Amino acid sequence: MTHVVTEACIRCKYTDCVDVCPVDCFREGPNFLTIDPDECIDCAVCIPECPVGAIYAEEDTPADQQHMIKLNAELARLPNWKTITRRKEPLPDHEDWKDRTDKLKELVR
């Protein structure tokens, strides 16, 4: 199994999860983080680190976020989505976006 970053991360991009990942499985896009399912070891240390609760074990991913399982895998393979291994500041307007839902249309690839 793997872990999945859901829509809650879009336009926030908190990176607290990156600091604790022992295998560097996070990939960074312009306004979202994804987990490479081929690298994730299912350790779950990232889940409690996310301030917006955007990370789930694949089997616990909410029904309305199931599409994110496939999307995480697709984005992780894009050449412009590079491995991120250190925490960065969230996006400048993250406070405006952290409680919003249905943010998929905001995803920049």
Asked if 41 and 22 count as a contact pair (C-beta separation under 8 A), the reply is yes
- pLDDT over 90 at 105, yes or no: yes
Band (107; pLDDT cuts 50, 70, 90): very high
Which one, of 23, 31, 22, lies nearest residue 5 by Cα? 31
> Pairing state of beta strands 3-5 and 55-57?
antiparallel
- pLDDT tens string 24-81: 999 999 999 999 999 999 999 999 999 999 999 999 999 999 999 999 999 999 999 9
pTM over 0.85: yes
